[in-house]
Amino acid sequence: MVEGSGEPEASDSLRTFGAMLQALREHAGLGREEFGRRIGFSKHTVESVELGRRMPDDDFVEASMPVLGNTGAVRKAAVFLERQPGLASWFQRWARLEKTAITLFNYECRMIPGLLQSEVYARQLFADELPPLTDKQIEASWTARAVRQQLLRDRPNTAFSFIIEEQVFLRRTGGSEVTREAIEHVLRIGELRNVEIQIVPLVQKSHAGLHGPIALLETPKHKWYGYSEGQESGQFISDPKAISVLQNRYARMRSQALTPEDSVSLLQRMRGDL
């Protein structure tokens, strides 16, 4: 990722996809401007995708299908695109949707969510990876995470909700100083008008999140998607029934967690104890 560019570095798969798209477009007898008009994107966007400079989003891929013969080739080729350096391959589609989401929910019981991590805390997580990461890989991972975090400020009309287990902070990942800085960072982010942070207390009689972390987002077209991450893989969720279950669990946890105000008070006390 070129820092500040917001677009992935060109990869072989991006260039190959772009060349295929260009060949199909030219075979259909369409210029970039006309093709862009038909699929609802600008000539510049079409050019960037064809040159391997831009990752096509789901709307671009789906809109291209009927214009280019509806053979399924564009959709099938998009599956194999390699995207942003520093982000796990199974996370790529989710990260792409994050950039335009109008609502984003995240429940985390293992660590501070990536969008809320301070740099020193994130670097500690990268340093703890097994097999070990090289210095270059750690830098790429932090750069990618820092770019993602800009969403919180770059999208003031997106509603971000985070539910975090108290135990995540009690673990003191990286030691007391790292944890204190991490808490201060979370408190600062929580002051943003579009961010709501709730803490689930350590002692909790009833808990709707026992199945593990939950990530949900709503697109500008009001479609909902979910994401679940495991040890060495992740699952992108689009089935409406599965999404409904996750939404119900998240809604229940919002009522079970501390209020945003009480969550701030708890974090402040925890910071004072370090």
Predicted confidence band of residue 228 (pLDDT cuts 50, 70, 90): confident
Mean pLDDT computed over 139-160 = 93
Task: Give pLDDT, residue 6.
Answer: 36
- Pair of tokens at residue 19: 């060349």
Half-sphere exposure of 1 (CA within 13 A, CB side): 23
Nearest to 162 by CA among 105, 88, 97, 119: 105
Q: Which residues contact 227 (CB under 8 A, 6 or more apart)?
A: 91, 94, 215, 216, 234, 235, 236, 237
pLDDT of 203 above 90: yes
Predicted confidence band of residue 89 (pLDDT cuts 50, 70, 90): low
Q: Which residue has the tokens 């919002």?
A: 254
Q: Which residues contact 107 (CB under 8 A, 6 or more apart)?
A: 162, 163, 164, 209, 213, 214, 215, 250, 253
Half-sphere exposure of 81 (CA within 13 A, CB side): 32
43-64 per-position pLDDT tens digit: 988 998 898 877 788 889 999 9
Amino acid at 33: E
The gap from C-alpha 233 to its chain's centroid, in whole angstroms, comes to 15
Task: Give pLDDT, residue 57.
Answer: 81
Q: Which residues contact 46 (CB under 8 A, 6 or more apart)?
A: 25, 32, 35, 36, 39
99 membership: H or E segment, kind and range: none
pLDDT of 169 above 70: yes
Task: Give pLDDT, residue 55.
Answer: 78
Per the document, the length of the chain is: 274
pTM: 0.70
DSSP assigned state of 233: -
Give percent of the chain above pLDDT 70.
91
Task: Give pLDDT, residue 72.
Answer: 87
- Pair of tokens at residue 212: 């593990």
Give percent of the chain above pLDDT 90.
69
Q: Are 169 and 182 in contact (CB under 8 A)?
A: yes
Task: Give pLDDT, residue 187.
Answer: 98
Q: Are 113 and 195 in contact (CB under 8 A)?
A: no
Chain mean pLDDT for the chain:
89
Predicted confidence band of residue 7 (pLDDT cuts 50, 70, 90): very low
